[in-house]
């Protein structure tokens, strides 16, 4: 072999060795990155763990906070607000009633004709109206005049099948899903705006009085009979169809719970005890927190970056507003520390709240062999064009960890309420049925979440008690529920009915 050939062979061999070394280093780097990604996943899974023993501690802490919140104002992270709803619908209600549901950038107006126990809801109609953005930041008069104008237009379309009894004034249930300090069944002062509203001259004012003045300016003869929030509306709507409903939970963008308490078990109540002996309590349970909650560094970072640091900790762990964001934060950590999606961190992955919970749910429910839905969502939402099946499986695992923790904590919260009202055990010879009315898009559409919640509650209660506890979907409680509460608190009820 000539010198040239030998030299070429040596060069080729050296090049081959260099390439082989590069391949080995690349593989080692890849395996090192994968190991780091798996370490991040494992640590996240461990800190999110919700064994039964921990859930029992969370439920006990919930019960303790409920007692404290009922004992005194400000005595607990749970506000335990007295709703002044002491008469829930019975099914005997009759007549025409309206509801106005204001909780965001749209509001709904609904009318319902009630026919008593035999006919129930004879007919109902509703309309939905968008609020012009400028009215969310102008004046109280401007906002309520706009609402009253639309309400009057809707009343004017009252047609066949709707009958107002002679000599009666129309009555309205007002669902107002902003923080309010309620002072009676039909009055409450606005504490603060949320959800993009910022109308300074309305804060500290009675929202029913503001609406009533606007209605009068329209020349509309209508009385607000009940001021409620969406959770209490859900409880009322559930009770109307099922007398065993004693708890209502909203699991949607946000979360809250309300339940029926014995009036004498509310030490901070100083008025006359209601004839019914009962009072609905609006827990505002999103603000619950406890040292037993499995809070991760991602939760802490999300909280500190939020508009309300240190508040709504429970809500930030289990409601639809936040679940997708927690998943995004974990994926972002993997991208930064383990080059999970390649050598650069995808820019879109760094955008807070870019991954919404409906998208997370769609990925979690992906059952296609190549997890095509996951691949499509990663590409469309996060700009990550090519992902391996292995990576897609990890994404689903993170979705599963986050939703499982949220659902199990929600189950523990419900168990805590059941313990507080003594519905967590079977008493001798009793088969008392207990129903939880549930509403909200998270519960309705995220089936992995809702299934996990129900199995968790069963696990905590035990088979015997669980057989007597049911979770029922109460769709649109906040609308129909408000109209029903206007009926059950009507000015035309006979004294023995109220």
Query: What residues are annotated to the active site?
Result: 108, 177, 230
Q: CB–CB of 422/432 below 8 Å?
A: no
C-alpha 281/C-alpha 83 separation (Å) is 6
**418 near 461, Cβ under 8 Å?**
yes
CA distance 136 to 104: 10
Residues in CB range of 421: below 8 A, 6 or more apart: 246, 259, 260, 261
- Give the integer Cα–Cα distance in Å for 409 and 296: 14
What is the b/e burial string over 47-63, where b = at least 16 CB atoms within 10 angstroms of the residue's CB? ebebeeebbbbbbbbbb
Residue with tokens 């009630």: 114
Task: Please enumerate in sequence order all residues whose Cβ is within 8 A of that of 496, keeping only pairs 6 or more positions apart, or say none.
Answer: none
What token pair was written down for 326? Answer: 């927690």
Q: How far is CA 326 from CA 318, 341, 356, 371, in A?
A: 10, 18, 10, 21
Q: Parallel, antiparallel, or unpaired for β 170-176 and 222-228?
A: parallel
Could you give the C-alpha distances from 457 to 256, 451, 489, in angstroms and in order? 17, 10, 33
């Amino acid at each position: 072999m000539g010198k040239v050939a030998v030299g070429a062979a040596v060069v080729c061999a050296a090049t081959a060795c260099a390439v082989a070394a590069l391949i080995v280093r690349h593989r080692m780097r890849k395996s090192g990155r994968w190991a780091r990604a798996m370490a991040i996943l494992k640590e996240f899974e461990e800190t999110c763990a919700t064994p039964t023993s921990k859930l029992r501690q969370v439920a006990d802490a919930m019960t303790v906070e409920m007692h404290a919140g009922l004992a005194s104002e400000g005595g607990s992270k749970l506000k335990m607000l007295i709703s002044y709803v002491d008469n829930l619908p019975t099914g005997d209600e009759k007549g025409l009633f309206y509801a106005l549901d204001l909780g965001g950038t749209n509001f709904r107006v609904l009318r319902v004709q009630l026919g008593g126990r035999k006919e129930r809801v004879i007919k109902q109609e509703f309309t939905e109206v968008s609020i012009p953005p400028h009215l969310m930041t102008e004046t109280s008069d401007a906002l309520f005049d706009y609402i009253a104008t639309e309400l009057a237009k809707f009343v004017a379309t009252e047609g066949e099948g709707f009958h107002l009894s002679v000599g009666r004034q129309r009555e309205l249930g007002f669902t107002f899903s902003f923080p309010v300090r309620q002072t009676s069944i039909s009055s409450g002062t606005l504490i603060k705006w949320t959800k993009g509203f910022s109308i300074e001259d309305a804060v500290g004012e009675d929202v029913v009085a503001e609406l009533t003045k606007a209605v009068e300016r329209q020349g509309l003869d209508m009385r607000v009979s009940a001021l409620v929030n969406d959770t209490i509306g859900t409880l009322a709507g559930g009770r109307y169809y099922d007398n065993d409903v004693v708890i209502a939970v909203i699991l949607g963008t946000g979360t809250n719970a309300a339940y029926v308490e014995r009036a004498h078990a509310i030490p901070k109540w100083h008025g006359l005890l209601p004839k019914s002996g009962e009072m609905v309590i609006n827990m505002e349970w999103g603000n619950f927190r406890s040292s037993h909650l499995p809070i991760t560094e991602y939760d802490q970072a999300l909280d500190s970056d939020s508009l309300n640091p240190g508040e709504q900790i429970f809500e930030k762990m289990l409601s639809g507003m936040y679940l997708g964001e927690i998943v995004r934060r974990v994926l972002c950590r993997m991208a930064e520390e383990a080059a999970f999606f390649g050598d650069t961190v995808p820019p879109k992955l760094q955008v807070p709240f870019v991954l919404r919970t409906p998208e997370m749910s769609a990925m979690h429910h992906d059952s296609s062999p190549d997890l095509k839905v996951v691949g499509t969502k990663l590409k469309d939402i996060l700009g990550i064009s090519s992902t391996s099946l292995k990576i897609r499986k990890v994404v689903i695992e993170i979705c599963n960890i986050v939703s499982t923790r949220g659902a199990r904590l929600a189950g523990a919260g419900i168990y805590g309420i059941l313990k507080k009202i003594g519905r967590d055990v079977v008493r001798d010879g009793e088969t008392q049925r207990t129903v939880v009315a549930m509403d909200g898009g998270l519960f309705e559409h995220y089936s992995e979440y809702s299934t996990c919640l129900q199995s968790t509650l069963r696990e905590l209660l035990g088979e015997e008690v669980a057989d007597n506890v049911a979770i029922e979907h109460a769709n649109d409680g906040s609308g129909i529920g408000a109209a029903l509460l206007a009926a059950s608190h009507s000015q035309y009820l006979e004294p023995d009915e109220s």
